[in-house]
Amino acid sequence: MQEKIRGCGTWKEILPQYPFYQEAEEIEAAPHGDGHINDTLLVTCNLKSGGTKRYILQRINTSVFRDPDGLMENIHNVTSFLRKKIAAMGGDPDRETVTIVPNETGGLYCRDQTGGCWRVYRNIEGAVTYQTAQSAEDFRQSAMAFGRFRRLLEDYPAHTLHETIPHFHDTPDRFRQFTEALDRDVKNRAHEVQKEIDFVLRHEQDTHILVDLLAAGELPLCVTHNDTKLNNVMLDEKTKRGLCVVDLDTVMPGLSLYDYGDSIRFGASTAEEDERDLSKVELDLDLYNAYTEGYLEAAGDSMTAKEIEMMPMGAKIMTLECGMRFLTDYLSGDTYFKIHREGHNLDRARTQFKLVEDMERKLNV
């Protein structure tokens, strides 16, 4: 039994709790993806019957997602809803939405001895994700996948979803958290980053724009993904068609502009989110236009005139918000986003602010 699983880590406790463990001759797990929050492994099972099956094993970051039951219930309900719709439309639900693999007792996740929460998804074969857009067409395809997601969930009862992270895209609240971190300045870092701090303070008014329109009833609340980075959508390896939206932890009621804006901030940049050479960081208007077209085409008439009008502003505010979050985490001693080097969150904040400036120029917002 011991030799069956290759590798080391707490996850070794978890795999025997899944039915596929019995089918496997040998199991290997390797780190997977670029997420900043959860730990992700790709698990390869060499089956006794020959052939292989692959799974995605994730340890849920429960200091970020404090209610794993509510979280997994959301994902189960949303993906079951999507499966039915995709099947009814003649699509392939096994490839066009994620599938949770239940454990031996039918549970949606497992706990290890230290209380850590782990879940398993089927791996979607023949699909790829990108950190940066390879072409405008690929980016347009990712937009189609997110636009379709919005449209398919148009009649999902949003009020039944658990709020997995309260105030997630409440931008004024993010601003408040930023000023709190600045006041505390636990690592004595504020004096090094006065320029970035001033940038945020100068933009305070912008943080209110979307929430005010929501409160005034001018923008509709709908089911949104809330973390629409390019690496959270899979494209078919062969056809390059936008295939499947993944990372559903933050699916909650929200504004379509959160989804649209977050995609632009990450994917329409000419550089990666943590690029240190800021001269490389710009908004690429071709990518911006390709995404906007694709999103509108797929979301169709689920987008109102006001939502469409506010799209450029949505891109700017989501970029500003993310930059504020990175700077807040830098000031707080890097406790939220995973970092892989000294100053990583500061580098990330800087790219976001550079993009905001470029959006102000190029999008006139």
Summarize as ranges the residues that interact with ligand GN1 (CB under 6 A): 35-37, 64, 227, 229, 232, 247, 249-250, 273, 322
User: Which CB atom, from 62 or from 179, has the smaller least distance to ligand GN1?
Assistant: 62
CB of 266 to ligand GN1, least distance (A): 7
- In order of 209, 253, 305, 311, the CA distances from 218 in angstroms are 11, 16, 10, 14
User: Which CB atom, from 123 or from 231, has the smaller least distance to ligand GN1?
Assistant: 231
User: Which CB atom, from 18 or from 68, has the smaller least distance to ligand GN1?
Assistant: 68
Report the candidate in 324, 319, 320, 305 with the shortest Cα–Cα distance to residue 213: 305
CB of 26 to ligand GN1, least distance (A): 30
CB of 349 to ligand GN1, least distance (A): 11
45 forms beta bridges with: 27, 53
What does 321 interact with, of ligand GN1, Mg ion, none (CB < 5 to 8 A by kind)?
Answer: none
Question: CB within 8 A of 73, min separation 6: which ones?
Answer: 108, 162
What does 39 interact with, of Mg ion, ligand GN1, none (CB < 5 to 8 A by kind)?
Answer: none
What does 37 interact with, of Mg ion, ligand GN1, none (CB < 5 to 8 A by kind)?
Answer: ligand GN1
Tell me which residues touch Mg ion (CB under 5 A).
35, 232, 247
What does 273 interact with, of Mg ion, ligand GN1, none (CB < 5 to 8 A by kind)?
Answer: ligand GN1
CB of 227 to Mg ion, least distance (A): 6
What does 64 interact with, of Mg ion, ligand GN1, none (CB < 5 to 8 A by kind)?
Answer: ligand GN1
CB of 354 to ligand GN1, least distance (A): 15
What does 78 interact with, of ligand GN1, Mg ion, none (CB < 5 to 8 A by kind)?
Answer: none
CB of 121 to Mg ion, least distance (A): 12
